[in-house]
Amino acid sequence: MWLYLWLGVMVLMLCIEAATMGLTTIWFALGALAAMLVSAFAPWQVQMFVFIALSALTLWLVRPLARRALMRRERTNADRVIDQVGIVSEPVDNVAGTGVVQVGGRTWTARSHTGEIIPGGAYVRVCRIEGVKVMVEALPTERENDAGR
């Protein structure tokens, strides 16, 4: 009888895990599997102890490692504009909340990474993306490059 109970618990936990994909019940499914194996030769108290102990142990030890491995941020197509050079088509002013840049053939709402106002026509480099806005920094103009030589 206990074999079928633990099998049912394990199947239920695996179904919940499959539905949520949140690494929440897989640990209890492992505990139920161990308890099911122990049910062949141990009383229910030992089975319950094995279920609770193994579920808690895997939850405590393995879950943080699994979450780190599975939750790494995947680069998206939008991330490809990071470090690309673009041109400002509408001045970038964080205070006024304005700014549009052309990067990689697309139009992006932009904000200044440093907070400086960047005039139209200036070249910028994309530092990062925040939501649907690119954070940009102004690139030196030819005159600034000549002055530095």
Tens-digit pLDDT profile for residues 35-81? 999 998 999 999 999 999 999 998 888 877 777 766 665 556 667 88
Residue that finishes a domain, picked among 70, 101, 122: 70
pLDDT value for 146? 45
> What's the pLDDT band for 149 if we cut at 50, 70, 90?
very low
Mean pLDDT of the chain: 86
Residue 149 within a domain: no
Give the domain extent around 93: 78-139
91 and 135 fall within a common domain: yes
Residue 15 within a domain: yes
User: For residue 147, is pLDDT > 80?
Assistant: no
> pTM for this structure?
0.47
Locate 30 and state its tokens. Answer: 């492992």
Average pLDDT over every residue of 101-111: 91
46 and 106 fall within a common domain: no
Residue 144 within a domain: no
49 and 85 fall within a common domain: no
User: For residue 141, is pLDDT > 60?
Assistant: yes
pLDDT value for 9? 93
Give the three-class secondary structure for 3.
helix
User: For residue 133, is pLDDT > 70?
Assistant: yes
pLDDT value for 145? 45
Residues of the chain with pLDDT > 70, as a percent, come to: 88
Q: Residue 97's beta-bridge partner residues?
A: none
89 and 126 fall within a common domain: yes
Q: How far apart are CA 41 and CA 22, in angstroms?
A: 33
- Strands 106-112 and 133-138, by their bridges, are parallel
8 and 29 fall within a common domain: yes
End-to-end CA distance of the chain: 85
**How many domains is the chain built from?**
2
Residue that finishes a domain, picked among 14, 35, 70: 70
